[in-house]
């Protein structure tokens, strides 16, 4: 949905010039809270016992009387029992209506009103599990709008009468009898509307026919065979004019049907809505084919300051491009897959808001990353002090909070896309669609799909960004150094946001410029203050922090550099490699800054032969520690350790030595942490590193004989007769 709003924020306005500056054009209910006179009551909860039944189909037959502003009709529900011995069924219908008949399978059934919404029907005899029954409810009365105008009778400036519905969240009961709150039980429907013959009715699905009815009336018969959440059923009735086109996509050929007020029917407005054809193609390319392609996509103008994504037939009060894209994106995210509970409404609204960005990124016919970032910049939340997840779904203002649910929700997807990469991100959406199409999902469901798709736990991402509050506030400083002839940048990063907010673990893009050439490095920030080290191709003339603004954060600031812990930048022989005993007789460790170290800070230990004695030396100029064994190491697996008792000279900070999967430089960004790694010493002559001296090794040596050090076994820098002798002495071992 799209509206504009008070503190709620989503925006849809009937006239763009009417949008106050704090509102956004888009989907939701917010503006209506500001511009319509009725108050927003608390949301309604999940009724007891809803999981005992599965409503399969509705046949709603409704007569609409615009002058009297009343309704009369019936709904025939086809219901399957999920319980053995189901003895009652509760439906929702406002007490502004009188109920003239309730029948179970054609026989009158006893019923009682429980409160202003709920009516309980006695099922006698009880219904067995998996058995189906029909419940017919006949009713009439003058409806009373709730929520965002669940049903409205309206006279436009032209004098034409208009009747429209907007049931989100759980206000469908204000105009027709249904199972009630919740989005887990989707149904199909026949929707019949009888109106004065001056009116046209737009509704869900495909129009089956229009019948002349006595008394100057017409009956419009709509039908949808796609599972539909209760709040996504709707109608708009007025003196519509119609236009349309056909959308073709691969083997799909589908009607686009538009219902427009005569006073709005001009070429500019028609072109604005016809842009849906291009949007459908973009979204189908990115999200999979439009999910309701066997029916239609349509839009019906209504007198409300926004848009509402009724399934297959969006109701929209204007012609704004971003709103049109938002509502269309909802057909995938909100309609095809609906949030299971209103706590998870960001799965509808955050996704549709990001759908706007996908449209602007691709509207030119090819991906335009600048357009993507521009649109997301325009969708930055005005405040970060709230969660995307709605903890209190009884509060409509919380459900439809523009900053949190819509904008921050969209940013959650935008950032996730960058975290996992484009291909993986759209694979996640495809897997999510496959798992939950035409059903309902929770945030936990979406997270699990994402984790299974990328093969990693994502609690570190979802916990702070979806369930937590706030956003990071970065401060940073950097300096560069040359170590062993290699250039490095040391980046000092702090998060200084409100202390009640979490620390946000994120990969951060850092762009450096060397000799006029930009290079992007990715650093992993998971602490409130960290020192992160990475190698560059040469001296750096400029550094940019998150240059493309992939992360939602407050404006960054540079600060004075603060000394950090020493890190290891080079190890020889390299970790996890297989070497000869001669090659392993000397182990060297290069630090990125000067350290205070002694022999007791280091150890070499074989799995079979135990501790190895060595001579220790440290060269302050090269920042290199050297461990020299008294003789070549015998074949074994050796563990080498550098303790965090090694400290830097400048600040006395302990070694940041952890060797992570990414390799060198070492460390997790914080002082403290030993470096521990292993090397495998193979038998002399094992040039291939497979643990054996055989024909393969002989081939390697002979190909390098007299030419290079590729077969050097004795350490003299050339492959020669001595090396051949060593290999042959160990051949077959």
Q: What is the DSSP letter of 137?
A: E
Q: Provide the pLDDT confidence category of residue 587 given band limits of 50, 70 and 90.
A: very high
Which pLDDT value is given to residue 670?
98
Q: Is the pLDDT of residue 12 over 60?
A: no
Count Cα atoms within 13 angstroms, Cβ side, for 568: 30
Asked whether the predicted pLDDT for residue 353 surpasses 90, the reply is: yes
Cis? peptide before 665, omega within 30° of 0: yes
C-alpha 420/C-alpha 429 separation (Å) is 12
- Over the stretch 656-697, which tens digit does the pLDDT of each residue have? 999 988 889 999 999 999 999 999 888 777 778 677 889 998
Cα–Cα distance measured from residue 108 to residue 128, given in angstroms and rounded to the nearest whole number: 19
Alpha-carbon distances of 474 from 388, 557, 559, 560, rounded to whole Å: 21, 7, 10, 13
Which two structure tokens, joined as six digits, stand for 268?
């500019």
CATH superfamily of 50-238: tricorn interacting facor f3 domain (2.60.40.1730)
Mean pLDDT lowest for which of 174-183, 518-527, 675-684?
A: 675-684
Q: What is the mean pLDDT of residues 230-254?
A: 99
Pick from 587, 578, 658, 639: nearest CA to 617: 587
Give percent above pLDDT 90 in the chain.
84
pLDDT, tens digit, 9 for 90 and up, residues 485-509: 999 999 999 999 999 999 999 999 9
CA distance linking residue 291 with residue 280, whole number of Å: 11
Q: Parallel, antiparallel, or unpaired for β 97-104 and 107-108?
A: antiparallel
Share the mean pLDDT of the chain.
92
> Is the distance from CB of 697 to CB of 682 less than 8 angstroms?
no
pLDDT at position 27 is 47
Q: Residue 559: CB partners within 8 Å, gap ≥ 6?
A: 475, 476, 477, 492, 494
| pLDDT category of residue 126 using cuts at 50, 70 and 90 | very high
pLDDT, average across residues 420-444? 98
CATH assignment of 258-306+318-448, given 1.10.390.10, 3.30.470.20, 3.20.20.140, 1.10.940.10? 1.10.390.10
Mean pLDDT of 293-299: 99
Question: How far out from the chain centre does Cα 246 lie?
Answer: 31
* Residue 593 tokens, joined: 């800054």
Q: Which residues contact 495 (CB under 8 A, 6 or more apart)?
A: 472, 473, 474, 475, 503, 504, 525, 528, 529
The domain 568-681: what is its CATH number? 2.60.40.1220
- pLDDT score for 40: 38
Q: Would you say 462 and 449 are in contact if contact means Cβ atoms under 8 Å apart?
A: no
- The three state secondary structure string of 541-598 is CEEEECCCCCCCCCCCEECCCCCCCCCEEEEECCCCCEECCCHHHEEEEEECCCEECC
Alpha-carbon span 15 to 5, nearest angstrom? 14
Q: What is the mean pLDDT of residues 89-104?
A: 98
Question: What residues does CATH 1.10.390.10 cover in the chain?
Answer: 258-306+318-448
Mapped onto helix, strand or coil, the DSSP state of residue 249 is strand
Measured between alpha carbons, how far is 232 from 309 in angstroms, rounded to an integer? 7
Q: List, for residues 624-641, the tens digit of each pLDDT value.
A: 999 999 888 888 999 999
User: For 307-331, how does the pLDDT look when each residue is reduced to its tens digit (9 = 90+)?
Assistant: 999 999 999 999 999 999 999 999 9
Q: What is the pLDDT of residue 600?
A: 98
Report the top-level CATH class of 474-558. mainly beta
Q: How far apart are CA 223 and CA 258, in angstroms?
A: 17
Averaged over 26-34, what is the pLDDT?
A: 37
pLDDT of residue 732: 80
CATH 2.60.40.1730 positions along the chain are: 50-238
Q: Which helix (H) or strand (E) holds 337?
A: strand 337-339
Contact 192, 221 (CB under 8 A): yes
Residues 724 and 700: their CA atoms lie apart, in Å, by 11
DSSP calls for 441-509: E-HHHHHHHHHHHHTS--HHHHIIIIIS-----EEEEEEEEEETTEEEEEEEEEE-S-TTSPPPPEEEE
Whose CA is closest to 407, among 386, 435, 434? 386
Residue 450 — φ and ψ, nearest 5°?
-60, -45
Contact 220, 254 (CB under 8 A): no
The whole-number average pLDDT for the span 180-193 is: 96
Is residue 124 scored above 50 in pLDDT? yes
CA distance 730 to 733: 6
User: Which residues, in sequence order, are CB contacts of 569 under 8 Å at separation 6+?
Assistant: 483, 484, 486, 488, 533, 535, 590, 591, 592, 664, 665, 666
Longest dimension (CA), the chain: 112
């Amino acid at each position: 949905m799209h509206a504009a709003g008070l503190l709620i924020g989503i925006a849809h306005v009937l006239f763009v010039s009417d949008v106050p500056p704090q509102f956004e054009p888009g989907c939701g209910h917010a503006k209506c809270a500001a511009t319509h006179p009725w108050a927003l009551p608390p949301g309604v909860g999940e009724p007891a016992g809803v999981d005992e039944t599965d409503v399969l189909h509705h046949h709603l037959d409704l007569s609409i009387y615009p002058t009297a502003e009343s309704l009369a009709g019936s709904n025939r529900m086809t219901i399957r029992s999920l319980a053995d011995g189901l003895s009652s069924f509760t439906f929702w219908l406002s007490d502004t209506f009188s109920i003239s008949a309730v029948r179970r399978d054609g026989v009158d059934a006893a019923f009682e009103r429980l409160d202003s919404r709920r009516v309980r029907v006695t099922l006698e005899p009880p219904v067995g599990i998996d058995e189906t029954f029909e419940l017919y409810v006949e009713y009439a009365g003058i409806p009373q709008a709730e929520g965002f105008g669940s049903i409205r009778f309206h006279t436009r400036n032209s004098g034409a009468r208009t009747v429209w519905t907007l049931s989100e969240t759980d206000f469908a009961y204000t105009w027709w009898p249904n199972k009630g709150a919740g989005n887990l039980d989707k149904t199909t429907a026949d929707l019949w509307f009888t109106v004065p013959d001056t009116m046209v009715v737009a509704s869900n699905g495909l129009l089956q026919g229009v019948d002349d009815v006595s008394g100057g009336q017409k009956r419009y018969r709509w039908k949808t065979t796609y599972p539909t959440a209760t709040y996504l059923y709707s109608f708009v009735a007025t003196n519509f004019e119609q236009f349309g086109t056909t959308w073709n996509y691969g083997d799909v050929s589908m009607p686009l049907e538009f219902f427009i007020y005569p006073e709005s029917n001009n070429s500019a407005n028609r072109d604005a809505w016809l842009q849906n054809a291009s949007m459908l193609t973009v979204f189908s390319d990115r999200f999979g084919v439009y999910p309701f392609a066997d029916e239609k996509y349509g839009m019906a103008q209504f007198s409300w300051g926004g848009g509402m994504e009724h399934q297959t037939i969006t109701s929209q009060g204007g012609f704004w491009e971003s709103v049109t894209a938002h509502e269309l994106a909802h057909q995938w995210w909100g309609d095809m897959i609906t949030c299971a509970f209103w706590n998870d409404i960001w799965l509808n609204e955050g996704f549709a808001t990001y759908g706007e960005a996908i449209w602007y990124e691709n509207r030119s016919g090819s991906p335009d990353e600048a357009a993507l970032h521009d649109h997301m910049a325009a969708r930055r939340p005005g405040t970060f002090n709230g969660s995307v997840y709605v903890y209190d779904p009884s509060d409509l203002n919380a459900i439809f909070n523009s900053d949190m649910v819509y904008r921050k929700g969209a940013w959650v997807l935008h950032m996730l896309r960058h975290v996992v990469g484009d291909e993986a991100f759209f694979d996640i959406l495809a897997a999510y669609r496959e798992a939950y199409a035409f059903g309902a999902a929770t945030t936990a469901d979406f997270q699990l799909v994402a984790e299974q798709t990328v093969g990693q736990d994502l609690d570190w991402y979802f916990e702070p960004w979806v369930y937590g509050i706030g956003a990071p506030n970065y401060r940073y400083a950097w300096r560069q150094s040359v170590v062993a002839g290699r250039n490095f940048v040391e980046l000092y990063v702090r998060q200084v946001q409100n202390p009640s907010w979490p620390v946000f673990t994120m990969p951060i893009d850092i762009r450096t410029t060397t000799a006029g050439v930009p290079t992007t490095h990715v650093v992993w920030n998971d602490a409130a203050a960290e020192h992160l080290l990475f190698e560059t191709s040469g001296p750096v003339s400029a550094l940019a922090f998150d240059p493309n603004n992939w992360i939602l954060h407050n404006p960054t600031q540079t600060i004075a550099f603060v000394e950090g812990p020493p890190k290891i930048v080079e190890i020889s022989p390299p970790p996890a490699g297989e070497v000869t005993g001669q090659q392993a007789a000397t182990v060297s460790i290069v630090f990125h800054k000067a350290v205070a170290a002694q022999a007791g800070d280091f150890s070499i230990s074989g799995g079979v032969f135990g501790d190895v004695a060595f001579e220790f030396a440290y060269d302050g100029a090269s920042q290199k520690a050297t461990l020299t064994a008294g003789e070549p190491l015998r074949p074994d697996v050796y563990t080498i350790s550098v303790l965090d008792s090694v400290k830097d000279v400048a600040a006395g900070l302990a070694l940041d030595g952890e060797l992570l999967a990414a390799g060198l430089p070492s460390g997790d960004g914080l002082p403290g942490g030993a470096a521990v790694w292993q090397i495998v010493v193979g038998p002399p002559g094992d040039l291939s590193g497979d643990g054996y001296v055989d024909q393969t090794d002989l081939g390697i040596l002979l190909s390098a004989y007299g030419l290079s050090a590729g077969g050097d076994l004795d350490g003299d820098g050339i492959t020669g007769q001595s090396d051949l002798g060593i290999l042959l002495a160990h051949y077959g071992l």
